[in-house]
Amino acid sequence: MPPKTNPLRLNPLQLRTLTLLQALAQLPEHGRPGAEPGTVRVANLPQPHGDHFHLGDAAVAARDATGLFNPAVWVALERKGLIRSAFPIEALLTVEGLRYDTGLGDALLHRVNH
């Protein structure tokens, strides 16, 4: 049987936010290893300029990132065991949060060359 899509039943805003936190965790200017093995601290959240912001070589529409600045979204992700929140300063992505397949990476992260 294939794995269930979205087994924690995250809503669309939570899925988008987790996708962006996972992408930020991979960038050295945002992600640092956490104290527990396999976790990653994400800090230095990017601020949109105009209608987008940059994550490495990708551009993200500001409308897709509203959850990064919404404390209720962070509370929900923490309650589901995907992050530990220190809103608005940083999020610690748990092993489960890093592994959770949101299926949205390609839809949110638009690769750019400029």
DSSP letter string over 15-48?
HHHHHHHHHHHTSTTTEEE-SSTT-EEEESPPPP
Average pLDDT over residues 2-9: 84
Residue 49, pLDDT score:
87
Residue 2, pLDDT score:
60
- Residues 71 and 85: their CA atoms lie apart, in Å, by 9
Confidence (pTM): 0.93
The CATH code that applies to domain 12-111 is 1.10.10
pLDDT in tens, 68-112: 999 999 999 999 999 999 999 999 999 999 999 999 988 999 886
pLDDT of 63 over the 80 cut: yes
Tokens at 27, concatenated = 């960038």
Residue ranges of domains in the chain: 12-111
